[in-house]
Amino acid sequence: MRTQVAIIGAGPAGMLLSHLLAAEGVESVVVETRTEDYVASRIRAGILEQSSVDLLHAAGLGERLAREGDQHRGIHLQWPEERHHLDFVDLTGRSVWVYGQTEVQKDLVAARTAGGQEVHYGVSGTALHDLESDSPSVTFTSADGAPTRVTASVVVGCDGSFGPSRASVPDTIRQTWEKVYPYSWLGILADVAPSTDELIYAWHPDGFAMHSMRSETVSRLYLQVPNGTDLDDWSDDRIWSSLATRLGHGQDGWTLTPGPITERSVLPMRSFVQTPMRHGRMFLAGDAAHIVPPTGAKGLNLAVADVGLLAPALVDLVRNDDSRLADAYSDTALRRVWRCTHFSWWMTTMLHTSGDEFDQQLQLSQLRWVATSEAGATGLAENYAGLPIGF
Ligand code: RFL
Ligand code: PHB
């Protein structure tokens, strides 16, 4: 089959790209290894920054987000005996929204289904071909076993951290940077009302902890754990009592209410960037090009920002044969990618304990500065609430 843009991956990057292209009359085909249900129910990001929310509204995808999303003015930053609220709206005029990636995905799928988007779920053996030619293609075996080729003007790799697109850039051209952190997160979803109005990021000598949420009745919480942690070693009681200790249960009358745990997983943490984000007629967007540790809440937001830049560039390229934005895409996107990579590393290393006592004192000093100096707080707020898309 033939289309204008072949998109690999039906996660938020791929589905948002197909939506933005369709709004400008550019046709695409999406291929995805997983099932629609699997992609829609994967528990991942929870925070949307201002520019992501603005983009979703501008794309006509903001109706449920406006109704069901929860706008937060800032976050609580804490360490033993101290909790400080950073108000991003006062500091930068920008805010963030609690609206799960699962909800963003549902809105995208609903909009693309209404628009008649062709999405091939459950494919296998995805491969990219002829990327340096004017008619690159993607081959795969469809869910019912048929070998299939999609030939296009452009191929976009939105296939996340394990997809084949990034490796299709020749080794002589691509450059990669990677940092693996010496700790993981144990994340839980619990059927209990959040014990906090806004997110709590907590430094503690036992390790980092965070209290996030999905709704008025569902809480999302994380604990720093060693790499290689086995979930079987963490009973519900151990999880809740560790969260209570690290989040400061009993401090100034604050209490953590436990509840039934409905999902749990261990997430390794790494930073990764591959450049350039384009090779010939193949472009990379989202986790396919870069991974950040979740501490800065940037992964989904970076995927949205990439696509926000890429969609108009592809419209110009395939509709008007104008390659200026496409030629600038990689450099423009990477400016923001490196900013968010730095911010995510900075939040991660400020908040996670490594066992080094000298580092601990530096972390506490930095936390005190960020929480109590307007200059320090504004730096965190500006990065967390997010810089404008074209930054
Ligand atoms: P995705 O969502 O991984 O989607 C890629 C899709 O490509 C498919 N695929 C293939 N399709 C066809 N052929 C192949 N060979 C393929 N190989 C793979 C995959 O099945 C998948 O459906 O990447 P995308 O679209 O770039 O979106 C990125 C985000 O999902 C990711 O950055 C965020 O979830 C990261 N993240 C967070 N980001 C935030 O902005 N704020 C947060 O609060 C936040 N919290 C998180 C997070 C990620 C987490 N995990 C589990 C990694 C919290 C967690 C726990
Ligand atoms: C989440 O709600 O899953 C979440 C929130 C903020 C983060 C990471 C994850 O920094």
**Residue 297 CA: which ligand 2 atom is closest?**
10
Q: Could you read off the pLDDT of 312-349 as tens digits, one per residue?
A: 999 999 999 999 999 999 999 999 999 999 999 999 99
Q: Look up 106 and say whether it is catalytic.
A: no
183, 34 contact by CB (below 8 A): no
Specify the pLDDT at position 307.
98
Q: Look up 294 and say whether it is catalytic.
A: yes
Q: Looking at residues 245-262, what average pLDDT do you find? A: 96
142: pLDDT strictly greater than 70: yes
**Residue 187 CA: which ligand 2 atom is closest?**
3
Percent of the chain whose predicted confidence (pLDDT) is above 70: 99
**Catalytic member of 99, 181, 183, 201:** 201
Q: Looking at residues 156-161, what average pLDDT do you find? A: 97
Distance from C-alpha of 203 to C-alpha of 350, rounded to nearest angstrom = 8
Q: Looking at residues 265-284, what average pLDDT do you find? A: 98
Q: Could you read off the pLDDT of 284-310 as tens digits, one per residue?
A: 999 999 999 999 999 999 999 999 999
In this structure, which residue's CA is closest to atom 7 in ligand 2? Answer: 297
Among 142, 273, 287, residue to substitute to test ligand 1 (most atoms within 8 Å of Cβ): 287
Distance 368 CA to ligand 2 centre (A): 22
Report the run of H or E that residue 75 belongs to, with start and end.
strand 74-79
Among 52, 219, 220, residue to substitute to test ligand 2 (most atoms within 8 Å of Cβ): 220
Specify the pLDDT at position 16.
98
Q: Which domains, from first to last, does the chain contain?
A: 5-72+97-177+270-354 (3.50.50.60)
Q: Looking at residues 174-200, what average pLDDT do you find? A: 98
Mark out the alpha helices in the chain (DSSP H runs).
Answer: 12-23, 36-41, 50-58, 63-68, 88-92, 101-114, 236-247, 299-320, 324-351, 357-372, 374-385
Tokens of 111: 């909009």
Distance 350 CA to ligand 1 centre (A): 24
390: pLDDT strictly greater than 70: no
